[in-house]
Amino acid sequence: MGSKLRAALLAGLLAASIALQPLNAAEVFAKQIQDGLNILASGKTKDYGQALAIAERKLKLNPDDHEALYLKAEYFRYSLKYAEGQKTLAKTIATAEKLSLSQTRLSKYYEAWGFNLLSALKYNEAEKLARKALSLDPTSDNAKLLLAMSLISLKQWQEALSLLNGVSKNIDEALSVVCYRIECLTKLHRYAEALKMLDRAEKLFPQSSASWRGYRITIALDKGHFDEADALLSKVVPKDEALAAQYHQLALAYHARHEDDKELAALSSAIKYSKSFSYRQERSQAYAHKGQHIAALTDISDAIKACPSEYKLQITPALMLQRAHEEMAIGLYNEAIGDLRWVLKFGKNPDAEHLWMKIAECYSKLGDRKNEIDAYSSAIKIKPKPQTLTLRAKEYYSMGDYAAALSDAEAVLKKNPRSMDGLYLQAQCLFGQKKLQAALASVNFVIATYPEMPNYLNLRGEILKKLKRNEEAARDFQKAKQSLKDSGIPTD
């Protein structure tokens, strides 16, 4: 059920609570208090202060007047001041219990407290108070509705449906009851019953046709009838954010079925009726999945522009990271580096080591070894992983800085003495430093473990050649050539 419809139904139920159980007209200022409740139920926020003034006047005469306390609590709830409302209702109930009021009246106040908690999204607490209210007055329709609504929020569809089926005839066909029954039946996959109730609802409440179509779309999606859902969506009026949300739901369904083209079409429809950045972000991901990286880059850039300013620092880093991936995919490495550095600077708790590795990758693609090494160094400061040390060592070696490369290779071997990469790099660096005996010892160790690796055999051949051990060198070169030939790799 949409959040707007749920809010409207909740307001209707709260108004019904007042209408179904009017306060005792014989009490002092009863009419004024009822007027205050009616003001709140009208939804005219500019008039809410009048309701509070009525309550305050009565409480000035009698601080323990439970009806005035109830009105004040309702004012807090309608004004979205839930904590103040809950405190006032606790005092209301304490006063009612001290005065030994009827269980029906106590049930009413527990219901009000439960509705307050439900509005504050505290579903478990609302459920407990609804059960308390129902234990005090088992015939109370409002207590049943409150409990059903709490259970629906907690996804306990079966018990909620049982409660809705147990309300009295005078509200059995109320809009809220019908809506919640349809929702429960849909969630329980009792589609035939839900559709039958929808047929009845369309006759009872033709003015709510958009809501009924929304339920039919949900049922079609739930049943996997996506083309039917798409056809229903095309008839929805007005074309607004609610329609965009339903197209998004359709897109998610197509995504789960790996129907990429239909997913893209549904997301495009959602974007047509909404300015939400999130739909553009998702379409960017869908394009990327199909390998359409330019379209993906366009969408994610638009999503960054559309991101609300109040969420910039919370959401934009993730969008910038996604854009960097798309930029890397089409070779825009400098642009990707700029985005990655932005995330490092402004992102909240970014995975800095991962980001530096991505930056190093970009510099590698650009052939900028110095900055690539600097990026690896930044990553190593955060997490000195053997893989990163190996990558930096290879760059140092390529630049002829054998001492730095050897230092990294030995750091790798300290973590894993049998590291194939570490041992090979160590031998390479020692050879580069003309420490031939040490290099030979290192490469012998590695070949003893990996005797058929051609690059190791070739390296030992080069070392032996420098040591004037030409026959042994020739055998290693021949073994390396044969190993490559056996692997199907051309050697000429």
Q: What is the pLDDT of residue 37?
A: 86
Determine the Cα angle at 28 with ends 22 and 34, to 5°: 30
**Among the listed ranges 33-42, 88-97, 205-214, 469-478, which one has the minimum average pLDDT value?**
205-214
The pLDDT of residue 239 is 66
* Average confidence (pLDDT) over 174-203: 90
Quick check: 244 pLDDT over 50?
yes
Buried b (16+ CB within 10 A) or exposed e, 147-170: bbbbbbbeebbeebbebbeebeee
CA distance 76 to 262: 47
| The pair of three-digit structure tokens given for residue 128, joined into one six-digit string | 């407990």
Q: What is the pLDDT of residue 490?
A: 59
Q: Which residues contact 458 (CB under 8 A, 6 or more apart)?
A: 476, 477, 480
Q: Flag whether the pTM goes above 0.85.
A: no
Residue 2: predicted pLDDT: 54
The region of weakest confidence among 93-102, 243-252, 334-343 is 243-252
**Paired tokens of 90:** 């606790």
Comparing 109-123, 167-181, 289-303, 470-484, which segment has the lowest mean pLDDT?
167-181
Give the model's pLDDT for residue 237.
Answer: 57
d(CA 346, CA 434): 47
Q: Is residue 298 scored above 50 in pLDDT?
A: yes
At 369, the pLDDT band (50, 70, 90 cuts) reads very high
Percent pLDDT > 70 in the chain is 92
Rg of the chain taking only CA atoms, in angstroms: 36
Mean confidence (pLDDT) of the chain: 87
Average pLDDT value for residue range 429-437: 94
Reported as a single tens digit per residue, the pLDDT across 4-48 is: 555 555 555 544 444 444 444 445 456 888 888 888 888 888 888
Rounded Cα distance between 137 and 398, Å, is 83
Question: Cα separation of 335 and 346, whole Å?
Answer: 17
Average pLDDT of span 431-443: 93
The C-alpha atoms of residue 44 and residue 297 are separated, in whole angstroms, by 46
CATH code given to domain 1-154: 1.25.40.10
Confidence of residue 172 (pLDDT cuts 50, 70, 90): confident
Determine the 3-state secondary structure of 34 from DSSP.
helix
Across the range 328-350, mean pLDDT stands at 90
Structural tokens at position 459: 């390296």
- Among 154, 73, 156, CA closest to 115: 73
DSSP 408-423: HHHHHHHH-TT-HHHH
pLDDT at 406 over 80: yes
DSSP type of residue 235: T
- Going by pLDDT thresholds of 50, 70 and 90, the confidence category of residue 193 is very high
> How confident is residue 477, by pLDDT bands cut at 50, 70 and 90?
very high
Q: Name the 3-class secondary structure at 383.
A: coil
